[in-house]
Structure 1
């Protein structure tokens, strides 16, 4: 259960907890996969293979760890440069860097006062992209899901996103995402938490659990679009 009031107060340790929780699930999975699997395409980021996505994730986290925030640091051009810089690395080295970033980025995110919290959420979503590319069940779920939902609500409110009332099949209490309702009443979502994550991160929902969405279009829910 995630109490509604828990989303209104920032927990500076939560992003780091989410990253470490995901690290413990993802890194062993990566180390067990054959090299050919890292050339698979990813549905969440169709321009990137699994290996390229992991290189982006590890580079972004190390920028956080090392406080390297030059202008345009997370732009598409900067992301492409980060991936290219790791183009001749062995895959194991990329995974090592990712593990270090997921371990060490939490304190830096905590000190940033909230402006980097979405980085942890994005990294968790990308881990789901990798699991989906590998054909793993429950791609956008697992032990980190409750932490991710808490961050999802907070990030959606801070960005004054479309108001959404979400009744989740796998949570007792509803979630209230987005900004304060104005002339437009909150949209209504009924369905699973993992499918809500897909919608809010612009991921494909084909094959996901059935859901109902009233009062908003799917693309309006995308926080990262």
Structure 2
């Protein structure tokens, strides 16, 4: 894996859309080839949700982006549950159709939003990994989209003023800098592979993974629990 050039703190508007396009081309064929019962499998990263629930959450989020529906409380747990419930009578393939449309068309809308929606593209990519893990697919949080996901994660953590971290990735040519660039706190250090770093920043289990983290606790890295 090769990470893109270090553009820490600089937004690349087209990056979220490219990430979603790459992930669409990997995920949608996988979903269309699965048996109906596979959509009922539990997703460990999202307690109480099935594969279908995660997909319905993702597809509805994209539709909200495309339709500009951002009412108060959007993407809260209650809002997510309502979106999933609204699709309860849909076929699995209809949910996949909506997801495919969203992953195809949301990129330009996210690009025009000035950065505020970039984390949504990253979160949807992480959820695709959650689904692959539920299916028992290898490399759940890896694949062709990983370099773009890492670059987007670097920008998102900088935008959020997240703690500074210097990542020496086993599977990349260049180190990755994430988080606050103000220098107010010495950067934490990470040594390990890209997928494990994604798991840490997404609050996913890293049981059995080989990595080193100094200057921060694993729980401090989660960007989806703020």
- Shorter-chain TM-score tier: over 0.9
Superposition CA RMSD, Å = 1.2
Q: How far is the alpha carbon of 1:186 from its aligned partner?
A: 1.2
**d(CA) in 2 for partners of 1:120, 1:7:** 18
Q: Is the Cα contact below 8 Å between 1:167 and 1:190 reproduced in 2?
A: yes
* 2:172 aligned with 1:171: yes
Q: How far is the alpha carbon of 1:5 from its aligned partner?
A: 3.5
SS in 1 for 2:101: helix
SS in 1 for 2:7: helix
SS in 1 for 2:57: helix
Query: Is the alpha carbon distance of 1:184 and 1:203 closer, same or farther for their aligned partners in structure 2, counting shifts above 3 Å?
Result: same
SS in 1 for 2:149: helix
Cα distance per residue 1:29-52 (max 9 Å; x no partner):
001111111111112212211100
**d(CA) in 2 for partners of 1:33, 1:113:** 37
Count, aligned residues: 224
Query: Is the alpha carbon distance of 1:184 and 1:12 closer, same or farther for their aligned partners in structure 2, counting shifts above 3 Å?
Result: closer
Q: Identify the residue that residue 95 of structure 2 maps to in structure 1.
A: 94
* 2:183 aligned with 1:222: no
Q: How far is the alpha carbon of 1:4 from its aligned partner?
A: 4.9
**d(CA) in 1 for partners of 2:4, 2:135:** 33
**d(CA) in 1 for partners of 2:61, 2:154:** 22
Q: How far is the alpha carbon of 1:72 from its aligned partner?
A: 1.1
Q: Is the Cα contact below 8 Å between 1:43 and 1:203 reproduced in 2?
A: no
Q: Is the Cα contact below 8 Å between 2:8 and 2:158 reproduced in 1?
A: no
Cα distance per residue 1:109-163 (max 9 Å; x no partner):
0111111011100000000000000000000011111110010000001111111
* 2:123 aligned with 1:118: no
Query: Is the alpha carbon distance of 1:180 and 1:10 closer, same or farther for their aligned partners in structure 2, counting shifts above 3 Å?
Result: closer
Q: Identify the residue that residue 65 of structure 1 maps to in structure 2.
A: 66
SS in 2 for 1:93: helix
Q: How far is the alpha carbon of 1:69 from its aligned partner?
A: 1.0
**d(CA) in 2 for partners of 1:105, 1:21:** 13
**d(CA) in 1 for partners of 2:6, 2:192:** 22
TM-score, normalising length from structure 2? 0.96
Runs of 4+ in 1 over 6 A off after TM superposition: none
Q: Structure 1: which 5+ runs fail to align?
A: none
Query: Is the alpha carbon distance of 1:3 and 1:54 closer, same or farther for their aligned partners in structure 2, counting shifts above 3 Å?
Result: closer
